[in-house]
Amino acid sequence: MTKSTSGAGGGLEGIVVGQTAVCTLDGRMSYRGYTIEDLAARAEYEEVAYLLLYGELPSAAGLQAFKSRLGAAAELPAPIIDTLRALPANTSMMDVMRTGSSMLAHFDADVADNGREANLRKTERLLARLPLVMAAKHRFDTGRTYADADPGRSLAANILRLVTDREPSREAEQAMNISLVLYAEHEFNASTFTARCVASTLADLHCAITAAIGALKGPLHGGANERVLEVLEEVGAPDNAESWIRDALARKVRIMGFGHRVYKDGDPRTVILTPVCRRLAEATGNQAMEQTADVIEKIIVADKKLPANVDWPSARLYYYLGLPVSLYTPLFVCARTAGWAAHAMEQYANNRLIRPSAEYTGPALRPFVPLAQRG
Ligand SMILES: CC(C)(COP(=O)(O)OP(=O)(O)OC[C@H]1O[C@@H](n2cnc3c(N)ncnc32)[C@H](O)[C@@H]1OP(=O)(O)O)[C@@H](O)C(=O)NCCC(=O)NCCS
């Protein structure tokens, strides 16, 4: 009855479990046929979200209409604001995102409709509102009041404004935009596969996104970007970096921000983000952290042959933008919602329940012993 194991080393490694037209990592990483190099250099996050959801790049008028809909949807129902205010101050921000996504379902008139048009409407509302959930909770935690997004601005600019209460520079907005574009989608990663599994049961889109947020929280997946910053802060000055990393590698510590299930020779997102990160470090006087990161990266690459993944530069980038570490993985949620939703809609459109089999490793059949006769 059992057909195969779950890939050479387990974890479904190298196993093709479905088809997708949303993204490929084969050859050049691309979203619906456009390379991430082109998209990161030339597109706004909103354009990329539209591409992922609707399948084509928008016209200028189409993009304007999409942004207007996002702007109009950028508000939170009062009971959600009250609940966010009532949550304990030390609640994990990823738990807040998961709760926020779940709560938004209760206030969405389309929640039970799994049709494509309803799913597009729901996704647009989630794209507009999840950043507000993140910003609102952070503002409450830091003694501030709720603030609305400015519908005339980009998602990147609104996130920076709402979190820092400062006017973002053009360079900061561009850097945030590039990170959102690069985080928007990544084929059958753990959280996207989670979203597809949930969608395959025909549960609704909010269920799929909420479950995906749970999967993203783990440190082997999205949670890595927060751990990266913890490492860099623990190492401190560049002079400590070599001894710190050699000791960590000798103790077989898993270094967050390195290695990848698919990219064994390098993550193309890291190549794009690293120079952006360098420029921002210079503009904000954070060259010392870049030097520390350089020492660590060179040693891991030389000794372990493990290339840096996207979380390595993105954590530094968020730090240079003045964002608190607790928001790094929630920012990933804000960006990846477009990819998750595109995959969920693809699953609904051509669905078959995802239900694999397992290789049984438990005891052979044995007689049942009644309770009174057990020792
Ligand atoms: C992402 C990750 C889970 C993918 O790994 P994988 O394909 O499952 O590879 P494995 O966990 O089987 O690791 C293979 C080997 O490389 C080592 N390795 C992998 N990533 C490592 C890391 N970041 N630091 C140190 N060693 C690492 C493993 O210890 C293992 O060594 P061994 O064969 O001597 O036991 C893994 O690289 C990792 O944990 N990275 C850190 C977390 C991270 O940055 N996640 C974000 C990914 S975008």
Could you give the 3-state DSSP secondary structure of residue 75? Answer: coil
Each residue of 130-185: pLDDT tens digit? 999 999 999 999 999 999 999 999 999 999 999 999 999 999 999 999 999 999 99
Q: How far is the CA of 260 from the centre of ligand 1 (A)?
A: 6
Mean pLDDT within 34-62: 98
Confidence of residue 191 (pLDDT cuts 50, 70, 90): very high
Mutate to test the pocket of ligand 1, among 304, 305, 329 (most ligand atoms within 8 A of CB): 304
Fill in the amino acid letter for 116. Answer: R
User: What residue owns the CA closest to ligand 1's atom 8?
Assistant: 261
Q: How far is the CA of 77 from the centre of ligand 1 (A)?
A: 41
Mean pLDDT within 349-356: 97
How many angstroms separate the CA atoms of 198 and 214, rounded? Answer: 12
Write phi, then psi, for 18 (nearest 5 degrees). 175, 180
Domain annotation for the chain: domains and CATH numbers = 23-217+326-349 (1.10.580.10), 224-320 (1.10.230.10)
Residue 10 clears pLDDT 90, i.e. is over it: no
Confidence of residue 5 (pLDDT cuts 50, 70, 90): low
> pTM value?
0.96
Q: How far is the CA of 254 from the centre of ligand 1 (A)?
A: 7
Mean pLDDT within 184-213: 98
The per-residue pLDDT for 122 is 98
Q: Of all atoms in ligand 1, which is nearest to the CA of residue 312?
A: 44
Residue 119 clears pLDDT 60, i.e. is over it: yes
224 lines ligand 1 (CB under 6 A): yes
Q: How far is the CA of 197 from the centre of ligand 1 (A)?
A: 24
Residue 32 clears pLDDT 50, i.e. is over it: yes
Confidence of residue 320 (pLDDT cuts 50, 70, 90): very high
Each residue of 68-99: pLDDT tens digit? 999 999 999 999 999 999 999 989 999 999 99
The per-residue pLDDT for 8 is 64
How many angstroms separate the CA atoms of 354 and 193, rounded? Answer: 10
Question: Which residues are annotated as catalytic?
Answer: 221, 260, 311
Confidence of residue 274 (pLDDT cuts 50, 70, 90): very high
Tell me which residue of 185, 64, 49 sits closest to 126, measured CA to CA.
49
Confidence of residue 42 (pLDDT cuts 50, 70, 90): very high
Residue 3 clears pLDDT 60, i.e. is over it: no
What percentage of the chain carries pLDDT values higher than 90? 97
Contact 340, 119 (CB under 8 A): no
Least confident piece of the model among 11-15, 21-25, 141-145, 195-199? 11-15
Residue 202 CB coordination number (10 Å): 12
What percentage of the chain carries pLDDT values higher than 70? 98
Residue 252 clears pLDDT 90, i.e. is over it: yes
259 lines ligand 1 (CB under 6 A): yes
The per-residue pLDDT for 356 is 95
Could you give the 3-state DSSP secondary structure of residue 99? Answer: helix
Each residue of 358-374: pLDDT tens digit? 999 999 999 999 999 99
289 lines ligand 1 (CB under 6 A): no
Confidence of residue 1 (pLDDT cuts 50, 70, 90): very low
Residue 2 clears pLDDT 90, i.e. is over it: no
216 lines ligand 1 (CB under 6 A): no
Mutate to test the pocket of ligand 1, among 221, 230, 261, 316 (most ligand atoms within 8 A of CB): 261
